[in-house]
Structure 1
Amino acid sequence: MRSQSGVKKMLKPVNILLVGVGGQGTILATRVLAKAAQDAGYDIKVSEIKGMAQRGGSVVTQVRLGQKVYSPVIGQGSADVILAFEKMEALRWLPYLKADGHMIINDQAIPPVPVLTGAAAYPDDCLARVRQAVPQTVAVDALNIAIQCGNARAANVVLMGLLARRLPIDKATWLQALRQRVPAQFIEVNLQAFERGYNL
């Protein structure tokens, strides 16, 4: 599904699950993805699930794009790509990935409330368990890359750059979507973050 100029459009819908926790920019990433897909001429359906998003709760977005898409719902075992902004969320949503699907993970741990209160333990083998189940797993320290670009909050856009390489949408279309969805004062940092992710 790698994007390049003149690439033919996909014949069947692509299912993408974006998972993270509140405050990581999952919703902004979804809006950039939706804009890029729409501008590329795809039909797109989006469903957002926010669980205490402002308090660090789980945030999940289901995105389906294709020539014609009738429902935003992605069932278990049917996601082509899971873009995980936090590594325990990657493990939590692993059952939704296809057998030959791709997993893109931000190698960052954000302990949920039960862990912070001592009611549960954060698994220390999240990445190992995901990699064992999914050969096509890419894990990056998106937070550190974003900090190098000048703003830790751009980690979501680093991950978007990685995702962009796996979708049949031209790079210029992604950049235009970023310019239209990111506030002007943050656009240069985000464009740099996208380039870093895209070229990883």
Structure 2
Amino acid sequence: MTKSILLVGVGGQGTILASKLLTIGLGQEGYDVKMSEIHGMSQRGGSVSTQIRFGEQVNAPVIGLGEAELIVAFEEEETYRWMKYLKPGGKVVMNKFRIPSSPMLTGDEVYPEGLIDEISAKVETTVIPASEEAAKLGSPQSMNIVLLGALVKAMGLTDIDWEKIMKENTKPAFLEKNLQAFRVGMDYLA
């Protein structure tokens, strides 16, 4: 059976790195894994999404509407934008974090209120202040790894040697903070 995970965020949040680490881990576990990424103006704070499908045999990386078991969202409004891809009974893990768009920064639009409550009322949702937790560790950029830890726990993928994967695929200077961030994320779903 093929499983589908959608990671969504804003350019610069580390969505692609978290996706690549997940893909490496799934591949090492023996799954056939396909990943597709969309960078939509990511250098300017635009939407970034990564679709990961894994199982015994995966023919295509693209997740259709209503097919994702799990959406991992790095930013609140991005969660809302991608909800149509979640399958009935699917789950959401989201960062309690807002990045205002350019029209919001200029005052032409207002950040929508109540998104977390609206999403939580519809589907099983775990809200993690991943950005705050990463900042507490002294490594704000490891917010993506906090969310990766939560994703791993939510999907029951804890038997994979994530420490080894991070050691081999992240910068040595960030390794210890990344490992701490990963454990924080896993602990949120204890």
TM-score by length of 1: 0.91
Q: 1:1-200 to 2 correspondence within 5 Å?
A: 12-134=1-123, 136-200=124-188
- Cα distance in structure 2, aligned partners of 1:110 and 1:162: 21
- Cα distance in structure 1, aligned partners of 2:111 and 2:5: 26
- Cα distance in structure 1, aligned partners of 2:5 and 2:26: 12
- Cα distance in structure 2, aligned partners of 1:106 and 1:195: 16
- Cα distance in structure 1, aligned partners of 2:156 and 2:184: 19
Instruction: List gaps (5 residues or longer) in structure 1.
Output: 1-11
Deviation at 1:147, TM superposition (A): 1.1
Structure 1 residue runs of 4+, over 3 Å off? Answer: none
TM-score by length of 2: 0.95
Higher relative contact order (CA 8 A, sep 6+): 1
Instruction: List gaps (5 residues or longer) in structure 2.
Output: none
Deviation at 1:115, TM superposition (A): 1.4
Deviation at 1:125, TM superposition (A): 1.0
**Paired amino acid for 2:45:** G
Query: After alignment, is 72-81 or 108-117 more displaced?
Result: 108-117
Number of aligned residue pairs = 188
Query: After alignment, is 85-94 or 176-185 more displaced?
Result: 176-185
Q: Secondary structure at the match of 2:161?
A: helix
